[in-house]
Amino acid sequence: MNVPQGFDDYLEAILWVSGLDDRSVYDFSEKANRKLLDYYDRFVKSINYLGLKDYYVQAYGEDKLGYDFALEQLRTGCGFMDRDLLEESDRDLLCQISNCFPEFSVYLENGELEVE
């Protein structure tokens, strides 16, 4: 599967937020992986369309993009708002876009991680 830069960081942040940081990004089932890749891909396309992706990546790097998206999507109270190199209005917009994606939980089933 061809995955965009930052996607593994998105998965790692999901594991951390879910208290599963002893697990690997390779533990997600194929179904869960496809669902999360869809979320990440649509998020990146949205912010790229608005011209925010390059701005963010230049300031913080592609790896932090996946991390911050996971933190915002899972409503942890941190993420993009903690990035002081960005204008406040851009941070707000990144948060609003992230919040368009559903929250979910991660659970272990038959040795694989699933999302619901």
In a domain, 102, yes or no: yes
- 48-96 pLDDT, tens digit per residue, is 999 999 999 999 998 899 999 999 999 998 889 989 989 999 999 999 9
In a domain, 81, yes or no: yes
In a domain, 99, yes or no: yes
In a domain, 22, yes or no: no
On whether the CB atoms of residues 80 and 98 are closer than 8 A, the answer is yes
In a domain, 33, yes or no: yes
Residue 1 has a pLDDT of 60
Residues spanned by the domain of 45: 7-17+27-115
In a domain, 1, yes or no: no
- 5-29 pLDDT, tens digit per residue, is 899 999 999 999 999 999 999 999 9
Residue 3 has a pLDDT of 80
Structural domain total, the chain: 1
In a domain, 80, yes or no: yes
